Amino acid sequence: MVLMGLPGAGKGTQAQLLADQGWSHINVGGLIRSEVAAETAWGIRAAALMHRGDLLPSQDIQSLVARELERRTLPVVIEGYPRRIREAYTLFDIYGPGIRQIPVFLRIAQSTSIARLAGRLVCSQCETVTRRGGLDVCVKCSGPLTSRPDDTLRQTVYRRMRNFHLETIPLLALYQARGELETIDSAQDETAVHQEIIARIAARATGE
């Protein structure tokens, strides 16, 4: 399953809920931030692009995702990838044409996205996402909670929105034209969204 949507749509939350049920979980943004924190040559290049709110080159992300996919067992949930049409074929390249790919679009209004980003805190140790509201440490690992710079810099946030519309909307249209896209209203509470995702998976499994 690939989870797509505007920043703040709930991709990380929903991916973690599936991971709690036994799915392998690939957090592409977390992988990139690990490279940035390690100050690898790759990470230094990525940091500059992320600071501006730009997408990283497809070939760089594809190699990173391919490496992680080869280490994971199915089923796999991926958040933050693919974001471009040319990236949608990576899974088929790795697993072959027999793989069943379920693209899920978590739809929210741009105004909701911006509001969620402003209130989002992320654990610096385990990447668990939470909202502002009195918590000082992560409820899962007691790590410190921080705001991501790309969530709080206005220019960066709007550039991310622009890139989503330019790059990812055409990808969603492709999935939709193929009859593959599952669109879910992510303005609902996270439990309702999760239940709807599970229902869509069950329907796909039974061919309904």
Distance CA(10)–CA(66), nearest Å, equals 24
pLDDT higher than 60, residue 208: no
> What pTM does this model have?
0.83
Domains: count for the chain: 1
pLDDT higher than 70, residue 134: no
Q: Which two tokens stand for residue 39?
A: 């100050």
Concatenate the DSSP letters of all residues of 99-116 into one string.
Answer: ----EEEEE--HHHHHHH
Supply φ then ψ for residue 129, to 5 degrees: -100, 135
Per-residue pLDDT band at 149 (split at 50, 70, 90): low
Q: Who wins on pLDDT, 69 or 90?
A: 69
Average of per-residue pLDDT across 138-154: 77
Distance CA(191)–CA(10), nearest Å, equals 11
Closest CA to 6 of 59, 83, 61, 77: 83
For the chain, counts of helices (H) and of strands (E): 10, 8
How high is the pLDDT of residue 195? 97
Give the angle subtended at the CA of 200 by the CAs of 96 and 73, to the nearest 5°.
40
* Host domain of residue 96: 2-206
Distance CA(111)–CA(72), nearest Å, equals 35
* Percent of the chain's residues with pLDDT above 70: 96
Domain with residue 92: its CATH number is: 3.40.50.300
Average of per-residue pLDDT across 28-43: 82
pLDDT in tens, 81-95: 898 888 887 777 777
Closest CA to 75 of 93, 102, 107, 42: 102
pLDDT in tens, 177-195: 999 999 999 999 999 999 9
The single-letter DSSP state of residue 168 is: I
